[in-house]
Amino acid sequence: MLFLLSGCGQRHDSIDPLLRSRADALNKVSFTARYNDAARSETYARKALSFINDSLSEYHDGRLRAWNNLAMSFFNRSMHDSASLYVDTILAYQGRAANREMEQMLALLLRARLLQRQCDIAGCYQILYDIEQSGLLGDNNDNILVSLAKSEFFIATTTLNYHYRNKSQYEQAELMVKMEQLHEQIHCDYAEDMSFNYAIAYGYYALCSDTLHQSEYLAKALHYCGENLRLLDSPTRYSTYHLANTYQLLGFMLRSRHISDKSWQDNSHELVSMCNYITDVFGFELLPITTIDAPLADLNTRLSLAFHREATALFFLHNDPYQRLGAVVSTGRCSMLVGDTATARDYLVEGLSVLPAPGLAPKLEAMLYEGLLVAGCAENQSDVCRWTSSLVRLNDFIKQNERADFILQQELNRTYRSSIVRLVIAVALAALAAALLVTLLMLRRRTQALQLETARLQESQRRDVERIANVETCLSVLRHDITPFVSYLQNNNLPAELRNEVTGQLIRTFENIKNWTKLSIPSGLQFRKTTVPLQTIFDNVSRSIMTPHNYTEGDAVAGETTFHVKLIFSPTDISVVGDSQLIEIMLRNLVNNALQHTEHGSVTVTAESFADDVRFALVSVADTGCGMDAEQIGSLFRSDKKINATPEAGYGSGFGLILCRYIIKLHDDNTLRGCRIWAESVLDGGSVFHFLIAKDI
């Protein structure tokens, strides 16, 4: 499939589309030729890079793509130093490229492949581990570069596992299942598809050491080799490089000592069909095979040698010393298995001429020296010593790298497990914190509910206490207020006119107590709002109060103390808003309270506009009585003080003031806010009781 790799992540509106298309076309040719003609790939990558530098200096995505194409072309010719140079250039690039992240990941993956060839297994594994942990491969979009990066990651991971380390069967099988699941999603071009198929096929071939599932794994390996052969059956997709890879893998499978005869018998139909297909389509003359019968070992070995020889011939069409070395070593070792030592020597000696630079393929180089020694290719003792020394050195180097890889795996596994533990602890702590938060919220709501309930109960208790106190007050005041009248009525010499007046006063006292009792009950006394002149209230209260000054001069009741107190109501023209009956009760109680605590002088009732707020009328009851100290003033209007109705107890000892407090509160609730009652006093200097009532304006 032909495609456009550059700029697939962002629109380049500022770049001339025609010029960009030309650069993309050059990069596309370079990418397509990366396996089958690496030299041609390099040529077109350089053309693309030159064109971008001359005409599209801001096309950073195209530049990165050209550099990656160059790095891959050098890798496929085992020019590892040049490949590493371009990888470093890509990783250090800071230009504003939309695809920079993916291009740099592809460069990292190529570096991992380079490290694999050099047997730096730990370095390769670290790169693959970091890429996997980065989460960049989790991108689910259909970006071609993302698919290419995923494909290269799994190819590098699989190659690392089956060529350079001994992974557990479970881990390899898990990786193969994951690769198969992604097979349909990861699709870049046919060359990449074939590389991906080859990696899966080789992975299943490596799993064939598991005897329990061997037949199943062999079937999968043959299936993916067949997939590649079917892809290659087209002039536009034919590639000698991928055909050589497929032949070589089939040769490895056929000569494997791990795969049993039974597994081959189970998969004989697939193998026969594949061999016939190869003969018909690719002209590769294999032995005429119609079925697989015993002896299998001989047949498989001869087929294996045929595939290895053909793969070697195809690889020598490419200028890649690494692939050439692997091909001749594999063919030489296979020739040794069939007893053809002369042919083995020819291939192995050829390997000496295709060796890449020292250190670039230590594992293949070690296999070459081992084959040379076993096949007796040495012409003198010097060759034996040199090859033996190189083999020992290379094996030590490989073991050191394997040991470093093992240590790194252990460290990374510990780090991974620690991160999992930290994650679990963090999740547990978060869950605990959430539970504590919910608990605290529930406790807070419960506390608030309890506080409200407590406040309600306290208020209910306070009202109950006040009601009880009011009942006690009624009884105490009843005794206190009717005692003088009873004394008067017990006097047989009291004139009939005065007896009638005392009787009326007694009746009014009972009425006062009845109203007081009603007021102590929440649903009792009703507030009736009217406008009334204060002078009318003054007159009604004046007529209802019985004092010694009502008597004519010289009249005295035997056995009683004669009082010298003058009651004065100052005239007023102020009208107020409220309940006239309640105001009379309040004023009457204040006047009676003042008279009870005044032996000489006067009790004066006045009314005026309140200076601080003209909306209110200020009514005052002043006396010249005994007065009060600060403690006594603090006890006024309170129902929680002990009842003591003696005159010596002070103004706050009677409960008429409690009734006054209720009445003023009713007016405050039902008229103008601000109604209140208070007292001012000096010990032995008299007292003044004030109350504010809404004025009719």
Q: Fill in the amino acid letter for 600.
A: H
DSSP-assigned letters across all residues of 347-403: HHHHHHHT--STTSSHHHHHHHHHHHHHTT--SSHHHHHHHHHHHHHHHHHHHHHHH
Kindly report the CA angle at 470 between 467 and 473, in degrees rounded to 5?
155
Confidence of residue 294 (pLDDT cuts 50, 70, 90): very low
Residue 256 domain flag: yes
What pLDDT shows up at residue 548? 45
The model's confidence at residue 316, banded by pLDDT at 50, 70 and 90, is: very high
Measure the CA–CA gap between 97 and 21, rounded to whole angstroms: 17
Of the chain, the end-to-end C-alpha distance in Å amounts to 99
Let me know if residue 150 belongs to a domain: no
pLDDT of residue 288: 58
Read off the pLDDT band of 605 (50, 70, 90): very high
Q: Is residue 191 part of a domain?
A: yes
Q: What is the pLDDT of residue 573?
A: 95
Give dist(CA 519, CA 525) in Å, integer. 5
The order of strands in the sheet holding 687-694 is: 564-569, 600-609, 616-623, 687-694, 677-681
Residue 222 lies in a domain: yes
Of the residues 318, 341, 359, the one at which a domain ends: 318
Quick one: average pLDDT of 151-175? 79
pLDDT (0 to 100) of residue 90? 96
Give the containing element (helix H, strand E) for 577: strand 575-578
CA–CA gap between residue 405 and residue 461 (Å, rounded): 81
**pLDDT computed for residue 3 by the predictor:** 39
Q: Give the CA distances from residue 335 to residues 252, 341, 342, 348, 556, in Å, rounded to whole numbers and listed in that order.
A: 12, 7, 8, 10, 157
pLDDT band for position 415 (50/70/90)?
confident
Side-chain-facing half-sphere of 510: CA atoms under 13 Å: 7
Number of domains in the chain: 2
Domain boundary among 277, 297, 318: 318
Would the pLDDT of 469 be above 60? no
DSSP at 587? H
Examine residue 539 and state whether it is found in any structural domain, yes or no: yes
Predicted confidence (pLDDT) at residue 460 exceeds the cutoff of 70: yes
Number of other CB atoms surrounding residue 188 within 10 Å:
22
Report the pLDDT value the prediction gives residue 662, as an integer from 0 to 100.
83
Helices (H) and strands (E) in the chain, counts: 23, 7
Q: Which of 133-142, 533-542, 629-638 bottoms out in mean pLDDT, i.e. has the lowest?
A: 133-142
Prediction pTM value: 0.61
Q: Which residue has the higher pLDDT, 439 or 76?
A: 76
Spatial contact of 87 and 107, defined as CB atoms under 8 Å apart: yes
Task: Tell me which of 525 and 679 has the higher pLDDT.
Answer: 679
Q: Tell me how far apart the alpha carbons of residues 550 and 570 are, in angstroms, rounded to a whole number.
A: 18
Q: What is the DSSP letter of 649?
A: G
Say if 7 falls within a structural domain: no
What DSSP string describes 122-176? HHHHHHHHHHHHHTGGG--S--HHHHHHHHHHHHHHHHHHHHH----HHHHHHHH
More confident residue, 466 or 390: 390
CB 258 within 8 A of CB 209: yes
- Per-residue pLDDT of 120-159, as tens digits, reads 888 988 999 899 888 888 766 667 888 899 999 999 988 8
The residue out of 296, 318, 340 marking a domain boundary is 318
Q: By residue range, what is the domain housing residue 541?
A: 514-555+562-694
Token look-up 């406008």 returns 531
Among 230, 70, 252, CA closest to 162: 252
Measuring CA to CA, which residue among 534, 552, 532, 553 is closest to residue 542? 534
Inside any domain, residue 54: no
Percent of the chain with pLDDT over 70: 83
Contacts of 324 (CB under 8 A, 6+ apart): 312, 315, 316, 318, 354
**Distances from the Cα of 179 to the Cαs of 126, 174, 228, 667, in angstroms?**
20, 9, 16, 89
Q: Examine residue 266 and state whether it is found in any structural domain, yes or no.
A: yes
More confident residue, 533 or 651: 533
* 531-540, 587-596, 606-615: segment of lowest average pLDDT: 587-596
The better pLDDT of the pair 232, 523 is held by 232
Q: What CATH code is carried by the domain that includes residue 620? A: 3.30.565.10
More confident residue, 299 or 53: 53
Helix axes 214-232, 268-282, angle to 10 degrees: 20
